């Protein structure tokens, strides 16, 4: 990959768009399907690249950025559980300098002198499945998986089968206590489990992490009870009375309540001590009876955790320091080109099967043409690959001394696999090569349909990838609205192999059940480029109902044409396009893609048909948390005395406010300190309420 300082603005924008799509797909495979298709190391590399580019180009951070989400939506096999306190993920460190930077950021955020002693809990990062255990008046009442961090799966009865989870806790405990931890399987238990499976003619599990996840998500708790699941606890969610003052005190309390806590956890007080503990745990890794893939560092004092708060999908006060990846060599047998729903051509390496860290792998994504050219990857090459605990390796480099004499550079196709006459295109500065066929490309058509019925979209039970492909081949569904006409093929469908009267009835019932759906899910289901779940939520929040959104987008598309033809900025054109660009988290790049979608008459026709056959629910705004600034847009400018700018922004967002970097008619409050400048001038012109720092603290209750 190019370093951020080597990318221009357009290249960075395009790369972030590709990363958002790729990382979301891998999140779904890992968190929903327990079947990852890339290694931890390759996944971490993608997230790290995304973070680097966002740091270099903060104005390009997307509302559907991987840095703003964690995990994936829950499976339909279990009822859903809303997490009152989100179960978020951790940022990653890969080098000692990353850890040093992490500590420096904390000191800057809190305005601490570098000499100030800062206690950190250091503990192994368990490679398992995150869970939440809710206790009411000391009794275990509900257990859930993390899911997408906000909504998980109810696996209460399955968790009751784990002997290490107390059914009742005694002693001093809050009336409501949510304990969080990680479910895993010991190496020795895993080996015995696979021996028994082989004796019974069953396929052995690939690795302990996938085995633990699959075991916990058995629909029959009796099956879970047969699996040797264990747990380590390390955090809390919702509590009615938090009486511990540090993370380490909480761990002591967990032990008193009877929850397992990792014995290797300890408090360190400086960078050298932290890194030395990391090295010790890394050395012990090979002798532990459970998988770990790194070490976690957490600020020990809870008052400092509270001040630091969260950024996007992770807390500022914690980070995971990952271990180096394992490596192996194998031969590249072929490169296969896959075409996604946006027309992106992704090269996939077909490898000679190789065992890396106990797992057999045979495929790896090669990302794009630039990646193949940069590493000079050729069919027949011997490749050095690496993994860090999962299935598909990352291609590290070519072993040049083993290259066949007759090898030739790989030539990326200039025609799409869909049609020998359909050329591929690559926009200037963009890394992705795309099929130019768009609506004529069957791969794009069928993948858009797969996206439409995916879990985060319409989530139609019984209509998966294979069914969509089959119905597309039969010509029954070509656009999303055709799905709701499948009842017209009921007789023929029931006669097809693999289908019967019951399965057909279940499918048609599931389709009818999905006619009533929320606005944000519909927007996401359309598969508009750069419009992920977060962006869909923003659009639904802003426009409130389907017709408002369609009308605004059509007008915005028209006004955008005026911007291009007159070389005017959105602000000078005004109207719907400027309003769209001004939504916090949207920006011109996303607005352009939305307008491109609505500029195509075929898309508009399909949207109107969906509006006729569906009941699309208006967006339900969340209830106010009684904060004076909840739902308001706030801009900070000038210098602040009692808190850093980052702390002020985090505090406002915690109270439900939206923080913007620019003043517009949508701004409710401008918090101005010394050196406010042009933003204060514009706020006065627009009649916006201007507060000084003390007035802001009084309004938000920070001084009371």
Q: Is the dihedral of CA 176, 181, 184, 188 positive or negative?
A: negative
Burial class (CB in 10 A: 0-12, 13-18, 19+), 607: buried
Gap between the Cα atoms of 275 and 281, Å rounded: 10
85: left (phi over 0), alpha (psi -120 to 50) or beta: beta
DSSP for 98-164?
HHHHHHHHHHHHHT--TTS---EEEEEEE-SEEEEEEEETTEEEEEEE-TTSSEEEB-HHHHTT-TT
Gap between the Cα atoms of 314 and 190, Å rounded: 31
DSSP for 303-335?
HHHHHH-EETTEETTEEEEEPPPEEEEEEEEEE
> Which CA distances in Å does 217 have to 160, 192, 446, 462?
13, 20, 30, 19
Gap between the Cα atoms of 71 and 88, Å rounded: 8
Among the listed residues 656, 640, 677, the one whose alpha carbon sits nearest the alpha carbon of residue 648: 640
Assign 3-class secondary structure to 525-539: HCCCCCCCHHHHHHH
DSSP for 552-582?
HHHHHHHHHHHHHHHT--HHHH-HHHHHHHH
Catalytic residue among 125, 298, 445, 679: 125
What does the CA dihedral 114, 115, 118, 123 come to, rounded to 10 degrees? 80
Gap between the Cα atoms of 404 and 382, Å rounded: 9
Gap between the Cα atoms of 493 and 499, Å rounded: 7
The answer to whether the beta carbons of residues 86 and 130 sit under 8 Å apart is: no
Gap between the Cα atoms of 649 and 139, Å rounded: 38
Gap between the Cα atoms of 142 and 133, Å rounded: 6
Give the count of beta carbons closer than 10 Å to the beta carbon of residue 677: 10
Give the count of beta carbons closer than 10 Å to the beta carbon of residue 76: 14
Query: 502 an active-site residue?
Result: no
Q: What residues are labeled active site?
A: 125
């Amino acid at each position: 990959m190019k370093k951020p300082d080597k990318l221009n603005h357009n290249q960075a924008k395009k790369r972030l768009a590709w990363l958002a799509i790729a990382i979301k797909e891998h999140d779904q495979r890992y968190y929903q399907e327990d079947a990852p298709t890339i290694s931890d190391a390759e996944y971490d590399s993608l997230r790290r690249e995304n973070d680097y580019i966002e740091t270099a180009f903060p104005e390009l951070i997307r509302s559907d950025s991987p840095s703003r989400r964690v995990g994936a939506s829950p499976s339909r096999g279990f009822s859903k559980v809303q997490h009152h306190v989100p179960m978020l993920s951790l940022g990653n460190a890969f080098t000692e300098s990353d850890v040093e930077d992490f500590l420096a950021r904390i000191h800057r955020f809190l305005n601490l002198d570098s000499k100030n002693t800062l206690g950190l809990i250091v503990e192994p990062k368990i490679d398992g499945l995150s869970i939440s255990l809710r206790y009411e008046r000391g009794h275990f009442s509900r257990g859930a998986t993390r899911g997408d961090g906000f909504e998980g799966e109810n696996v209460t009865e399955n968790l009751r089968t784990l002997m290490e989870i107390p059914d009742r806790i005694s002693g001093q405990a809050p009336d409501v206590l949510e304990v969080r931890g990680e479910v895993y399987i010991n190496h020795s238990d895993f080996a015995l489990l696979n021996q028994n499976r082989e004796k019974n003619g069953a396929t052995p599990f690939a690795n302990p992490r996938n085995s633990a996840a699959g075991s916990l998500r058995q629909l029959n708790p009796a099956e879970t009870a047969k699996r040797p699941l264990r747990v380590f606890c390390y955090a809390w969610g919702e509590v009615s009375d938090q009486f511990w003052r540090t993370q380490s005190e909480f761990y002591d309390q967990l032990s008193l309540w009877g929850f397992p806590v990792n014995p290797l956890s300890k408090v360190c007080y400086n960078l050298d001590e932290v890194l030395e503990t990391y090295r010790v745990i890394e050395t012990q890794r090979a002798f532990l009876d459970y998988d770990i893939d790194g070490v976690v560092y957490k600020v020990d004092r809870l008052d400092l955790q509270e001040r630091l708060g969260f950024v996007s999908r992770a807390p500022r006060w914690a980070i995971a320091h990952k271990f180096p990846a394992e490596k192996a060599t194998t031969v590249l047998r072929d490169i296969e080109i896959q075409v996604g729903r946006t027309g992106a051509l992704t090269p996939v390496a077909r490898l000679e099967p190789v065992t890396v860290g106990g797992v057999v792998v045979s495929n790896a994504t090669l990302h794009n043409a630039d990646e193949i050219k940069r590493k000079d990857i050729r069919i027949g090459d011997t490749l050095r690959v690496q993994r860090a605990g999962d299935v598909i390796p990352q291609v590290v480099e070519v072993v040049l001394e083993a290259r066949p004499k007759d090898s030739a550079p790989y030539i990326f196709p200039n025609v799409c696999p869909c049609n020998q006459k359909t050329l591929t295109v690559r926009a200037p500065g963009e890394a992705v090569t795309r099929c130019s066929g768009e609506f004529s490309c069957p791969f794009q058509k069928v993948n858009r349909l797969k996206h439409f019925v995916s879990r985060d979209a319409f989530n139609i039970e019984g209509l998966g990838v294979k069914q969509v492909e089959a119905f597309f081949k039969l010509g029954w569904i070509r656009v999303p609205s055709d799905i709701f006409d499948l009842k017209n093929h009921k007789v023929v469908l029931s006669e097809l192999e693999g289908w019967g009267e019951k399965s057909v009835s279940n499918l048609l019932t599931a389709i009818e059940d999905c006619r009533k759906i929320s606005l944000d899910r519909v927007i996401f289901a359309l598969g508009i480029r750069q419009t992920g779940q977060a962006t869909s939520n923003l659009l639904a929040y802003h426009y409130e109902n389907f017709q408002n959104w369609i009308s605004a987008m059509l007008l915005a598309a028209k006004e955008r044409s005026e911007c291009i033809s007159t070389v005017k900025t959105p602000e000078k054109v005004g109207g719907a396009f400027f309003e769209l660009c001004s939504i916090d988290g949207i920006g011109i790049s996303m607005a352009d893609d939305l307008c491109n979608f609505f500029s195509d008459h075929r898309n508009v026709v399909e949207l109107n048909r969906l509006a006729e056959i569906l009941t699309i629910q208006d967006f339900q705004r969340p209830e106010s948390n009684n904060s004076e600034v909840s739902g308001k847009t706030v801009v900070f400018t000038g210098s602040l005395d009692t808190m850093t700018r980052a702390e002020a922004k985090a505090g406002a967002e915690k109270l439900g406010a939206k923080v913007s970097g620019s003043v517009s008619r949508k701004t409710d409050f401008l918090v101005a300190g010394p050196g406010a400048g042009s933003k204060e001038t514009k706020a006065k012109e627009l009649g916006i309420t201007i507060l000084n720092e003390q007035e802001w603290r009084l309004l938000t209750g920070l001084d009371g």
